[in-house]
Protein backbone atom coordinates (compact mmCIF):
# COMPACT_ATOMS: atom_id res chain seq x y z
CA UNK A 1 0.00 0.00 0.00
CA UNK A 2 1.43 3.31 -1.04
CA UNK A 3 1.47 6.18 1.39
CA UNK A 4 -1.47 8.55 1.67
CA UNK A 5 0.60 11.56 0.68
CA UNK A 6 1.75 9.82 -2.48
CA UNK A 7 -1.82 8.88 -3.39
CA UNK A 8 -2.98 12.44 -2.89
CA UNK A 9 -0.17 13.83 -5.03
CA UNK A 10 -0.92 11.32 -7.76
CA UNK A 11 -4.62 12.13 -7.87
CA UNK A 12 -3.98 15.86 -7.66
CA UNK A 13 -1.53 15.72 -10.54
CA UNK A 14 -3.99 13.84 -12.72
CA UNK A 15 -6.89 16.16 -11.89
CA UNK A 16 -4.86 19.34 -12.25
CA UNK A 17 -3.83 18.04 -15.65
CA UNK A 18 -7.40 17.39 -16.73
CA UNK A 19 -9.15 20.47 -15.32
CA UNK A 20 -6.49 22.95 -14.24
CA UNK A 21 -5.70 24.11 -10.74
CA UNK A 22 -8.66 26.41 -10.26
CA UNK A 23 -10.85 23.83 -11.97
CA UNK A 24 -10.02 21.16 -9.40
CA UNK A 25 -11.56 21.43 -5.94
CA UNK A 26 -10.31 19.74 -2.80
CA UNK A 27 -13.47 17.65 -2.86
CA UNK A 28 -12.62 16.47 -6.36
CA UNK A 29 -9.23 15.27 -5.17
CA UNK A 30 -10.69 13.68 -2.06
CA UNK A 31 -13.26 11.78 -4.11
CA UNK A 32 -10.57 10.56 -6.48
CA UNK A 33 -8.38 9.38 -3.62
CA UNK A 34 -11.35 7.93 -1.76
CA UNK A 35 -11.05 9.91 1.45
CA UNK A 36 -12.53 13.01 3.00
CA UNK A 37 -11.61 16.55 2.08
CA UNK A 38 -10.49 17.14 5.64
CA UNK A 39 -8.03 14.31 5.32
CA UNK A 40 -6.24 16.14 2.54
CA UNK A 41 -5.76 19.12 4.83
CA UNK A 42 -4.30 16.87 7.49
CA UNK A 43 -1.49 15.78 5.17
CA UNK A 44 -1.06 19.16 3.46
CA UNK A 45 -1.46 22.56 5.08
CA UNK A 46 -3.60 23.83 2.21
CA UNK A 47 -4.39 23.35 -1.47
CA UNK A 48 -1.43 25.40 -2.62
CA UNK A 49 0.91 23.16 -0.66
CA UNK A 50 -0.13 20.21 -2.83
CA UNK A 51 0.76 22.12 -5.97
CA UNK A 52 4.02 23.38 -4.50
CA UNK A 53 5.10 19.87 -3.58
CA UNK A 54 4.41 18.68 -7.10
CA UNK A 55 6.71 21.38 -8.39
CA UNK A 56 9.39 21.06 -5.72
CA UNK A 57 11.76 18.94 -7.83
CA UNK A 58 11.53 21.49 -10.63
CA UNK A 59 12.47 24.26 -8.21
CA UNK A 60 15.55 22.32 -7.10
CA UNK A 61 16.59 21.70 -10.69
CA UNK A 62 16.25 25.38 -11.42
CA UNK A 63 18.59 26.22 -8.57
CA UNK A 64 21.14 23.82 -10.01
CA UNK A 65 20.91 25.49 -13.41
CA UNK A 66 21.20 28.85 -11.73
CA UNK A 67 24.35 27.75 -9.93
CA UNK A 68 26.00 26.53 -13.09
CA UNK A 69 24.97 29.77 -14.75
CA UNK A 70 26.53 32.19 -12.26
CA UNK A 71 30.19 32.09 -13.39
CA UNK A 72 29.25 32.66 -17.03
CA UNK A 73 28.29 35.91 -18.78
CA UNK A 74 26.97 37.32 -22.04
CA UNK A 75 26.48 35.10 -25.06
CA UNK A 76 27.91 32.04 -23.38
CA UNK A 77 25.62 32.45 -20.36
CA UNK A 78 22.57 32.83 -22.54
CA UNK A 79 23.32 29.66 -24.46
CA UNK A 80 23.95 27.75 -21.25
CA UNK A 81 20.68 29.05 -19.88
CA UNK A 82 18.74 27.89 -22.90
CA UNK A 83 20.26 24.44 -22.73
CA UNK A 84 19.63 24.21 -19.00
CA UNK A 85 16.02 25.27 -19.20
CA UNK A 86 15.34 22.90 -22.05
CA UNK A 87 16.80 20.00 -20.11
CA UNK A 88 14.74 21.10 -17.11
CA UNK A 89 11.60 20.93 -19.18
CA UNK A 90 12.45 17.47 -20.46
CA UNK A 91 13.32 16.16 -17.01
CA UNK A 92 10.14 17.70 -15.65
CA UNK A 93 8.10 15.78 -18.17
CA UNK A 94 9.49 12.51 -16.88
CA UNK A 95 9.19 13.39 -13.21
CA UNK A 96 5.61 14.56 -13.27
CA UNK A 97 4.58 13.08 -16.53
CA UNK A 98 0.86 13.64 -16.37
CA UNK A 99 1.02 17.10 -14.88
CA UNK A 100 -0.32 19.59 -17.41
CA UNK A 101 -1.29 22.29 -14.99
CA UNK A 102 -3.04 25.40 -16.20
CA UNK A 103 -0.27 27.85 -16.94
CA UNK A 104 -2.25 30.97 -16.20
CA UNK A 105 -3.01 29.70 -12.75
CA UNK A 106 0.64 29.12 -12.09
CA UNK A 107 1.59 32.57 -13.32
CA UNK A 108 -0.32 34.15 -10.46
CA UNK A 109 0.88 31.97 -7.57
CA UNK A 110 3.44 33.83 -5.50
CA UNK A 111 4.32 30.92 -3.23
CA UNK A 112 5.91 28.74 -5.87
CA UNK A 113 9.69 28.34 -5.74
CA UNK A 114 11.22 31.68 -6.55
CA UNK A 115 14.36 32.66 -8.39
CA UNK A 116 16.58 35.70 -8.04
CA UNK A 117 16.13 38.76 -10.21
CA UNK A 118 19.04 37.95 -12.49
CA UNK A 119 17.63 34.61 -13.49
CA UNK A 120 14.22 36.20 -13.65
CA UNK A 121 15.17 38.79 -16.22
CA UNK A 122 17.11 36.20 -18.17
CA UNK A 123 14.17 33.87 -18.37
CA UNK A 124 11.87 36.78 -19.15
CA UNK A 125 14.12 37.61 -22.06
CA UNK A 126 14.00 34.00 -23.16
CA UNK A 127 10.31 33.47 -23.16
CA UNK A 128 8.84 36.94 -22.87
CA UNK A 129 6.00 38.05 -20.68
CA UNK A 130 2.62 39.41 -21.68
CA UNK A 131 2.12 43.09 -20.73
CA UNK A 132 -0.17 43.66 -17.76
CA UNK A 133 0.38 40.19 -16.39
CA UNK A 134 0.61 40.22 -12.63
CA UNK A 135 3.01 37.34 -12.24
CA UNK A 136 5.84 38.06 -9.84
CA UNK A 137 8.49 35.94 -11.44
CA UNK A 138 7.82 32.55 -12.89
CA UNK A 139 8.90 33.51 -16.36
CA UNK A 140 10.48 30.09 -16.30
CA UNK A 141 7.02 28.68 -15.69
CA UNK A 142 6.02 30.10 -19.02
CA UNK A 143 8.72 28.07 -20.67
CA UNK A 144 7.52 24.99 -18.89
CA UNK A 145 4.03 25.98 -19.96
CA UNK A 146 5.04 26.22 -23.58
CA UNK A 147 6.61 22.82 -23.32
CA UNK A 148 3.63 21.28 -21.62
CA UNK A 149 1.11 22.79 -23.97
CA UNK A 150 3.08 21.73 -27.01
CA UNK A 151 3.32 18.22 -25.64
CA UNK A 152 -0.35 18.04 -24.64
CA UNK A 153 -1.58 14.70 -25.79
CA UNK A 154 1.15 14.30 -28.37
CA UNK A 155 4.01 12.09 -27.29
CA UNK A 156 6.77 13.99 -29.01
CA UNK A 157 10.17 12.32 -28.48
CA UNK A 158 12.65 14.15 -26.27
CA UNK A 159 15.03 14.69 -29.15
CA UNK A 160 12.51 16.59 -31.22
CA UNK A 161 11.33 18.60 -28.21
CA UNK A 162 14.93 19.51 -27.42
CA UNK A 163 15.53 20.84 -30.90
CA UNK A 164 12.27 22.75 -31.07
CA UNK A 165 12.56 24.29 -27.61
CA UNK A 166 16.15 25.34 -28.12
CA UNK A 167 15.35 26.88 -31.47
CA UNK A 168 12.39 28.78 -30.10
CA UNK A 169 14.34 30.11 -27.16
CA UNK A 170 17.27 31.21 -29.29
CA UNK A 171 14.96 32.91 -31.75
CA UNK A 172 13.20 34.71 -28.92
CA UNK A 173 16.62 35.89 -27.84
CA UNK A 174 17.29 37.23 -31.32
CA UNK A 175 20.25 34.91 -31.80
CA UNK A 176 21.15 32.73 -34.75
CA UNK A 177 19.67 29.23 -34.57
CA UNK A 178 22.70 27.36 -35.85
DSSP code, position 108: T
Nearer to its own copies, 58 or 106 (CB): 106
Closest CA to 147 of 80, 79, 78, 101: 101
Contacts 24+ apart (CB under 8 A), 123-127: 123/81, 123/85, 125/172, 125/173, 126/81, 126/82, 126/85, 126/169, 126/172, 126/173, 127/169, 127/172
Q: Where are the beta strands (DSSP E) in 38-147?
A: none
String of contacts with its own copies for each residue 36-75, x by CB under 8 A: ----------------------------------------
Nearer to its own copies, 49 or 172 (CB): 172
In angstroms, the CA 167 to CA 177 distance is 6
Q: Which of 68, 79, 109, 129 binds its own copies (CB under 8 A)?
A: 129
- 110 in contact with its own copies (CB under 8 A): no
Residue 17, helix vs strand vs coil: helix
Nearer to its own copies, 49 or 108 (CB): 108
Given a contact cutoff of 8 angstroms between Cβ atoms, the answer to whether 54 and 6 are in contact is no
- 132 in contact with its own copies (CB under 8 A): yes
- 39 in contact with DNA (CB under 7 A): yes
Closest CA to 92 of 104, 79, 101, 81: 101
Q: Which does 48 bind (CB under 5 to 8 A by kind): DNA, its own copies, none?
A: DNA
Residue 173, helix vs strand vs coil: coil
- 108 in contact with DNA (CB under 7 A): no
Q: Which does 26 bind (CB under 5 to 8 A by kind): DNA, its own copies, none?
A: DNA
Positions that interact with DNA (CB under 7 A): 4, 24-28, 35-39, 41-43, 45-48
Positions that interact with its own copies (CB under 8 A): 14, 17-20, 22-23, 100, 102-105, 108, 127-134, 142, 145-146, 149-150, 152-154, 156, 160, 164, 168, 171-172
Amino acid sequence: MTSMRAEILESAARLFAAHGFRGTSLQDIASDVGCSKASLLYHFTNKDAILSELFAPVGRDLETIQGKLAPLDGEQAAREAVAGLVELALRFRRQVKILLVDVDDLLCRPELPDVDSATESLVDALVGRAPGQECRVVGWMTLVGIFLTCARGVDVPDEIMRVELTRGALRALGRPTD
